[in-house]
Structure 1
Amino acid sequence: MSETVYENHLKGEYAVENGEDSLIITSSSCYRMKEETLSLIDNLPKEGGKDFFLKAMSEMGIEKAEAIFDRLLAIDALRPARKKPVRKLLLSLIRPDLRLIPAAWQEKFFRAARLAPVPGRLGRNSGGIFFLAAAGVLAGLVVSYSGIYPELAEISSGRPQTFQMLALVLLGSVIHELGHSWSAAAAGIGFRPVGFSVYLFYPVFYTNVSGMEKLSAKEKTAIDLGGFFTQSAYLILLLGLWYLTKNLLFLETVRWMSLIMLFNLNPFLRTDGYWLYKDARKGFGDNKYARRLHYLYLAAFALFSLYLFRYLYLRVGSIYALLVSVWAEPSVLLSEGYKIVLGFYMLIMFFMGGARRLEETRQEWLELKRQKA
């Protein structure tokens, strides 16, 4: 029987001081540890068997190495090395999870740009963050959908500037996530890596902001709104560029970004609006009016889930019909065979997205039962 191999998966990860402890921040988690534990993790090897780790601790002069090894396993600082079977490799292709901008890079950039946040001031500036976030969203909506600029209706998706607009929109999405990360650092819990993945069945940029349990309600709200704060500043900059250049590229980018910002306010998906609602509700505790409002929220959440399932059902039906039509004409495979590949990919994505939505709905129900108990 082969020896179990353990990995020191926190070694080299970004860490920040938080009171008497340190926070180690990964792409998906946040670990609170004592300074001496962090130092031990950094000095232990990256991977090896139990005897290998015990020997390394003994060479550092550590007594009771076996007890410390067991403690590191208990707090998940060490864990059995994860194998990557074919199933996981296939899932990583279908639903990638990429770290795009590490937290350490962000800290260096904001310091060099003299924009580094001062920990502890976030709660006091939460009102200003809310004002700018709301101002940007409202300005974008007024410009895009009030009809005061009829030129927008004339913009065609086939214009040569489509690629440039997509690049500007993607940049705005990254700036949104950097806003969450900057706000987390301003609250004293460190910068957070920005990643890319797939949520349900659509691609998303995301920021891990776990570890907010000890923050005040104002600080949590400011972190939830941090993305809108920076994205609104970017949107206002685009409006200024349009005003100076009269280039409709900037105006069309504002329109798409306004839609994305509205989408992010949806409280029935795991977007910023969802976490805003969750954090706000925790602030009211067991208030009976808040509890009644939550029942209405859960009913709306369930109805939105039904709408999503209906949407998936219709899309699966249309994709299946497309695959059948392409398969029935073998000659079409040479010219449009890519449709089969894309069709199968979308079918898998829709089924996986539907399963995840069922799990989210189940979690909301279990949370309600725990609150009643």
Structure 2
Amino acid sequence: MITAGRPATGPAMARALTVGVEEEFLLLDPATGANLPVSDRVTAALPESVRLRSRTEMRRSMMELVTGVCTEMGDVRAQLSAQRRAAADVAEAAGARLVAVGATPVAEPDVGVPSGQRYHDLADRYGPVAHDPAVCGLHVHVGVADRELAVQVCNHLQVWLPVIRALTSNSPLFLGADTGHASWRSVQLLRWPSIGPTPYFSTLRDYGRTVAELVSSRMVLDEASIYWYARLSPTYPTVEIRVGDVCTDVDDTVLVTALVRAAVATAINDIRAGLPAARPRDCLLDAANWRSAHDGLGGDLIDLRLGRPRPAWDLIDEFFATVSPALLESGDLELVLEGLNRLRDSGDGATRQRSILRGTGDIRAVLAALAAWTRAG
């Protein structure tokens, strides 16, 4: 469970920032690839230490596993690996595969919501949108106890979130076919009215007033159902980055977690140096996030500081250079460099899935590979 983070102060700031990771998974039928509504059975059979870090999700074919509070990427890796292996073993015993994929790849026959008043309230409020096929994300929490500072961090992160989305792109398939998008999850989620780029906020008071107005408008049930790509966690003293698809494997998740923490540390340094956040137009923010969901790492991304497309890896290299001092400070520089080089060679999760689909013509081969990647580590 993600709990309190430490405030970021002093010269060792990047190393002091705590992180916690939430990963969402699908439970799929090994024979058909369809979603299986067995999350209750799987959760109940988990070892207690893992069950206590599991969460109910909007679909009975989904499960979420979360780490504790970590300061070292080695600890993040160990917790993620142990949780994935335990859940995969239990899922297999229940006749399902645990699969780290961003969106339902084939079909979801059961789109009913789990028991619980909140899920029924969401279904009543949003109707068919609340019964869309399941999607799975990666959420990274970084401890920033000063909420005023956390608001400014969200402003500074805005230009880099499409890069994070591209690095995690892992949902090219829907209804058994290639959608042409690297992250179909990102497209599906746009039907929800409270999902999108984080608005610019001048102060914490401005942030809080806007949240209160959205709740009173009845567009959202409460603060927890405002799903901006970067937000102040309504539960923990953290900045929560929730733009990415769940990653195929632990290595990708650890890479993204290290980059997100370094981006937060870099933002804090810039804020304290008096450097203003870029303020791209809302329509350009939408365009940049759509382009990253469509192209992933295989095409262009929009540089929100310049307002024009650039080759994805040119912008990723610039992002890496920008956060490198924080990575060096936290001891994660070599880990991230190796991870980016690996992604440069292998492609994002969407590219890996497409390669198998082209080679075999069989979506079941894709899902088998995804299940193997999910539990490896």
Tell which structure's C-alpha radius of gyration is larger: 1
Larger fraction in helix:
1
Which category describes the TM-score, using the shorter chain as reference length? under 0.3
TM-score normalised according to structure 2 size = 0.23
